[in-house]
Amino acid sequence: MTAAPHPKPNPQQLDAIRAVVGPKGIIEGDDKAPYLTEWRKRWHGATPLIVAPASTEDVAKIVKICAAEKIAITPQGGNTGLVGGQIPLGNEILLTLKRMRNIRAVEPLNNTMTVDAGITLAEAQERAHEAGRLFPLSIGSEGSCQIGGVISTNAGGVNVLRYGNTRDLVLGLEAVMPDGEIWNGLKRLRKDNTGYDLKQLLIGGEGTLGIITGAVLKLFPQPAEKVTICAGMSNADDAVRLLSLAQAATGGNVSSFELMYRLCIDLTLKHIPDTRDPLGDKHPVYVLAEFSSGVGVGLRNSVESMLAKALEQGIINDATIAENEAQADGLWRIRHAISEATNGEGLGARHDVSVGTSDIPAFINKANKTVAAIAPGVRFVTFGHIGDGNIHYNVLAEEGAAKDALNDKRATIEQAVYDIIGEFGGSISAEHGVGRHRREDIAARKSPVELNMMRAIKNALDPHGIMNPGKML
Amino acid sequence: MTAAPHPKPNPQQLDAIRAVVGPKGIIEGDDKAPYLTEWRKRWHGATPLIVAPASTEDVAKIVKICAAEKIAITPQGGNTGLVGGQIPLGNEILLTLKRMRNIRAVEPLNNTMTVDAGITLAEAQERAHEAGRLFPLSIGSEGSCQIGGVISTNAGGVNVLRYGNTRDLVLGLEAVMPDGEIWNGLKRLRKDNTGYDLKQLLIGGEGTLGIITGAVLKLFPQPAEKVTICAGMSNADDAVRLLSLAQAATGGNVSSFELMYRLCIDLTLKHIPDTRDPLGDKHPVYVLAEFSSGVGVGLRNSVESMLAKALEQGIINDATIAENEAQADGLWRIRHAISEATNGEGLGARHDVSVGTSDIPAFINKANKTVAAIAPGVRFVTFGHIGDGNIHYNVLAEEGAAKDALNDKRATIEQAVYDIIGEFGGSISAEHGVGRHRREDIAARKSPVELNMMRAIKNALDPHGIMNPGKML
């Protein structure tokens, strides 16, 4: 499916939209630039108009005008997406949710919070914390990404193993559908079997089926005890074994389980100040894991015995347990800085892929061999959320090479990695989504049956194709 | 939307379908009866043909014939549904998945299991257990209900608070779509953001969008420590407070949290052998709760201090902790026998509803007053999964009344209860689904926007309306 050829809106149409929001809701002139470039400067766009409605009703009025006039719309949250889904291609109006910032309700006894789409993830976390609860979603951009965008992209992050993806953390949605009708699906319910679960289409729908304006989020009890460890081992097989041991020993109290190959540590120590090698010796592979429990006692003992057993069985070579918050932060600092650390080493080929957790070692081995055959001497900066089967598989040119050394081989490497992902029944975009970036890859690699289902749903709910055209499908 | 008028298939068409499965796959004569009556004898149906294909490919061949000839199909699992969704109305062929019983893969290191749709829930639980893992879904009919039906109805049960509904326990699906194409969505992945999450439409879709033939199920570590308690208190408000206290004290290690009003206990003691009053004195309201933890120590202590605190704060009047498995079973026996116990008291008005957990006391109070005004003297057998906001709100005629005493008031009571549920933003079918039973209620009570979305999706994926017509919408 190609994007429907939406014409540039004419001045009268744009005036009608401006009249809905008034001067406060129009972003003009030089103020437009930050909305039209993605933060890494990778995706650039253009738009005839940026509107910032302040209410769901105003969003509906705008979409009604657009539906009647076949004007296309790109919704935008915090503009932190990595695949260009939030950047208009040219004729779409850009609708930012930034002025919709109400916390509509916080209900600790119901473990729910009802919010406007425009609050940041960090604000949602803070408001939950103030109410003595936990909103567990945590991603690098949490200070600026917005709840609406987080939901539209089904964001993942470091706590998925324990608490699930965004999809698992949303109980209800309010959205403006492509015909401009407001759908009130703001249910605060854990159980509701009265028809198709429509919110699931908008979650991860990348704004192609409607504009999310509000959401009911699931809250959790705050954990009473946290234990953070780092372990060094010989290979990824042992990392998978350690995960199994850790889950058995703590019965599912593993919150995060992150894999890092040694090169991740080396580059971080080289480029990022105030980082230090987590263990005395160097090891080929590291695991950074966090355990949390509500019981308040016993967790540290369980983790200690588990690590002793892992040492005894030869699964790990060494391990450290953070003695306090500062030590835990130091370990996490390495993990969080890997992306930044690789930026100093030139632009490689990056992949955000997933396979079954137990397939991770075989995938990495096969991908390394295949990529090395395409581009001898490359370096592999492999890390990720091993408990979710999600690997950030990044390839860098050899040390000292020019920054653009991999440019002409990038596409070949990517397609080869995706071929291997296909063999393992994996996903070529585990967390980051499709947007503009992976649109053609999806079209080429999904089965015709699945593509037809997706297109049938898109056509059924957005027959004029006005919602975020040119993205996802 | 009324069911499309599907004609009775002619003999040639039926022969073509028979030829796909051969004699082993045809259920005829007296053998047909058990498939055409629901187990409580509440829903009865008829069909020109019952087929039992043995493979996904055969299901696809049958659906292809039906799609070409516009023959309607009702898929059936273990025939344990409570709302008539699995019973054909007359001209539909009935397709039972009972011969599709392969366990395709059990992967403990990936915490997944891939199965055919026709295995029972109990078999899935057993196979997970043999692999040292837990498949946590647990419902009364687990010995005979099948995985395909469990997924098509998004079954709930007693462990939802900790592990989620069926929707949360399915990673991938295989289904035959209404055009007869096989959709292979058997992903074994925790993360996959490459388009609309299509499986979510089939989960809880009640067979109206396709026939589920296989699934990838999520497995969990087995818990190391379990604590079962029963507490007596004055009212439902205190039960909600106790839940909050319990979740805070054990940080989310509450697996089940069940509410029972005293009459539930009285009727169970009266009608069910080998049951005994759980506490020394009688209390207006009881909570039966189960806690489980993987840490292996500390849980019982946490639960004990929590109960001491609740006694001190006057939230509960008394409590008991099961000292062993037999005592825990005894407590659960009461909870599980409530439905059976009420059968001896005449047919009342039954409701499977949900509201926000914190709204439960207000809902019960308002419903009791309203129903008592309609039918003075009725008795309320109120129990349910309070942690999920899911109440089985059942109304019985006064003691000693004729079995059919409430017959002429049942519809009035139901609609009054549903009106109140609407005021609380609740669901009129929390677990049991829509099927035939609640189809008109859904049509009358859902918003036009939502009904239009549901119909648009149904028409997009099943344009001839051959999949389970007359159910849900």
- At B298, the pLDDT band (50, 70, 90 cuts) reads confident
Specify the pLDDT at position A4.
52
Decide: residue B271, CB within 10 A, 0-12 exposed, 13-18 middle, 19+ buried: middle
Residues in chain B within 8 Å Cβ distance of A449:
177, 181-184
Residue B1 confidence class, pLDDT cut points 50, 70, 90: very low
Sheet containing A254-261, strands listed edge to edge, beginning at the edge strand earlier in sequence: A318-321, A225-233, A285-293, A254-261, A379-385, A390-396, A349-354
B contacts of A153 (beta carbons < 8 Å): 193
Same domain for A213 and A236: no
Same domain, B324 and B421: no
| pLDDT at site B244 | 92
Q: What are phi and psi of A132, to 5 degrees?
A: 75, 25
**Which residues in chain A are contacts of B434 at CB distance < 8 A?**
193-195
Percentage above 90 pLDDT, chain B:
88
Residues 6+ apart with CB under 8 A from B265: B277, B278, B282, B286, B334
Query: Is residue B96 a part of any domain in this protein?
Result: no
Question: Closest chain B residue to A473 measured between Cα atoms?
Answer: B195
Q: What is the pLDDT of residue A183?
A: 98
Do B195 and B285 belong together in one domain?
A: no
Comparing CB atoms, the residue among A185, A358, A431 nearest residue B107 is A358
pLDDT higher than threshold 90 for residue B433: yes
d(CA A13, CA A426): 45
**What DSSP letter does each residue of A394-425 carry, written as one string?**
EEEPPTT--TTTTGGGHHHHHHHHHHHHHHTT
Specify whether B107 is located in the same domain as B210.
yes
B246 and B327, same structural domain? yes
Contact flag A472-B195 (C-beta cutoff 8 Å): yes
Instruction: In whole angstroms, give the CA distance from residue B391 to residue B239.
Output: 13
A196 and A245 together in one domain: no
Whether residue A22 contacts residue A54, with contact meaning beta carbons closer than 8 Å, is answered with no
pLDDT at position B442: 96
Q: Which ipTM score applies to this complex?
A: 0.95
In a domain, B55, yes or no: no
Q: Which of A 135-194 lie inside 8 A of B, CB atoms? A: 153-154, 156, 160-161, 164-165, 167-168, 177, 181-194
pLDDT digits over B255-280, tens only?
999 999 999 999 999 999 999 999 99
| Angle separating helix axes A448-461 and B448-461, nearest 10 degrees | 150
Q: Residue A195 is nearest to which of B294, B390, B454, comparing CB atoms? A: B454
User: Is 90 exceeded by the pLDDT of residue B54?
Assistant: yes
Which DSSP state fits B120?
Answer: B
Is residue A297 in some structural domain? yes
CB contact under 8 A, B197 and A167: yes
For residue A310, the domain's CATH number is 3.30.70.2190
Asked if residues A235 and A315 have their Cβ atoms less than 8 Å apart, the reply is no
Alpha-carbon Rg for chain B, nearest whole angstrom, is 23
In total, chain A counts a number of residues equal to 473
Residue A187 has pLDDT above 80, yes or no: yes
Report the chain A residue with the minimal C-alpha distance to residue B155.
A193
B422 pLDDT higher than 60: yes
Examine residue A456 and state whether it is found in any structural domain, yes or no: no
Q: What is the pLDDT of residues B212-255, one digit of tens each?
A: 999 999 999 888 889 999 999 999 999 999 999 999 888 778 99
Residues of A with Cβ-Cβ distance to B391 under 8 angstroms: none
Interface contact flag, B193 A434, Cβ < 8 Å: yes
Q: How far apart are CA A25 and CA A18, in angstroms?
A: 8
Do the beta carbons of residue A122 and residue A143 sit within 8 Å? yes
Read off the pLDDT band of B296 (50, 70, 90): confident
Query: Domain check: are A150 and A209 in the same one?
Result: yes
DSSP characters over B179-236: TS-EEEE----S---SS--THHHHTT-TTSS-EEEEEEEE-EEPPSEEEEEEEEES-H
Q: How many helices (H) and strands (E) does chain B have?
A: 15, 18
29-48 of B, contacting A, C-beta below 8 A: none
Residue A84 contacts B, CB cutoff 8 Å: no
Instruction: Indicate if A280 and A308 belong to the same structural domain.
Output: yes
- B357 reaches A (C-beta below 8 A): yes
- Judge whether B150 lies within some domain: yes
User: pLDDT digit string (tens) for B316-351?
Assistant: 999 999 999 999 999 999 999 998 898 878 778 999
CA–CA separation, B83 and B79 (whole Å): 11
pLDDT tens digits, one per residue of B167-214: 999 999 999 999 999 999 999 999 999 999 999 999 999 999 999 999
Distance of CA A361 to the CA centre of its chain: 23
Out of A160, A195, A244, name the one closest to residue B473 (CB). A195
* Rounded Cα distance, B95 and B54, in Å: 11
A residues 436-455 lying closer than 8 A (beta carbon) to B: 438, 442, 446-447, 449-450, 452-454
Asked whether residue A272 falls in the same domain as residue A319, the answer is yes
The residues near B416 (Cβ < 8 Å, ≥ 6 apart) are B367, B370, B371, B374
- Measured from the Cβ of residue A460, the count of other Cβ atoms closer than 10 Å reads 17
Any A CB within 8 A of B402 CB = no
User: Which of A142-151, A235-244, A250-259, B20-29 bottoms out in mean pLDDT, i.e. has the lowest?
Assistant: A250-259
pLDDT band at A403 (very low <50, low <70, confident <90, very high): confident
Neighbours of B281 (CB within 10 A): 8
Cα–Cα distance for residue pair B140/A275, rounded to 1 Å: 54
* Residues A284-341 pLDDT 10s: 999 999 999 877 778 899 999 999 999 999 999 999 999 999 999 999 999 999 988 9
Residue A217 has a pLDDT of 98
Last residue of a domain, one of B192, B221, B250: B221
CB A154 within 8 A of CB A165: yes
Examine the fold and report which residue of B343, B366, B386 is the final residue of a domain before the chain moves on: B343
Q: What whole-number distance in Å separates Cα of residue B443 and Cα of residue B450?
A: 10
Residues of chain B neighbouring A472 (CB-CB closer than 8 A): 195
- Inter-chain residue contact A433 with B193, CB threshold 8 Å: yes
Nearest CA to CA, how far is A448 from chain B (Å)? 9
Q: Please, are residues A173 and A212 in contact by the beta-carbon 8 Å criterion?
A: yes
A397, A415, A431 - which closes a domain:
A431
Burial class (CB in 10 A: 0-12, 13-18, 19+), B314: exposed
**Selected residue of B104, B107, B190, B208 to mutate for chain A interface (largest A Cβ count, 10 A):** B190
Instruction: Give me the pLDDT at residue B4, please.
Output: 52
Alpha-carbon distance B106 to B32, whole Å?
34
Which residue carries 């959205």 as its tokens? A175
Q: What is the pLDDT of residue A1?
A: 44
Domains identified in chain B, total number: 3
State whether A366 and A302 are in the same domain. no
As a whole number of angstroms, the distance between CA A261 and CA A263 comes to 6
CATH number of the domain encompassing residue A421? 3.30.70.2740
Q: What is the CATH number of the domain that holds B123?
A: 3.30.465.10
- Residue B437 in this model has a pLDDT that exceeds 90: yes
pLDDT tops 90 at residue A48: yes
The phi, psi pair for A425, rounded to 5°, reads 65, 30
Reference B385, options B427, B326, B329, B437; nearest CA is: B427
The string of DSSP codes covering B349-363 is: EEEEEE--GGGHHHH
Q: Write out the residue range of the structural domain in which residue A196 sits.
A: 103-221
Share the mean pLDDT of chain A.
95
List the structure tokens of A100.
Answer: 């919709």
Nearest to A470 by CA among A141, A43, A11, A183: A43
Same domain for A200 and A256: no
A423 — contact with chain B (CB < 8 Å)? no
Q: A167–B354: do the CB atoms touch at under 8 Å?
A: no
pLDDT beyond 50 at B2: no
Residue B77 domain-assigned? no
Q: What is the pLDDT of residues A429-454, one digit of tens each?
A: 999 999 999 999 999 999 999 999 99
Residue B41 lies in a domain: no
In a domain, B217, yes or no: yes
Same domain (yes/no): B308, B395:
no
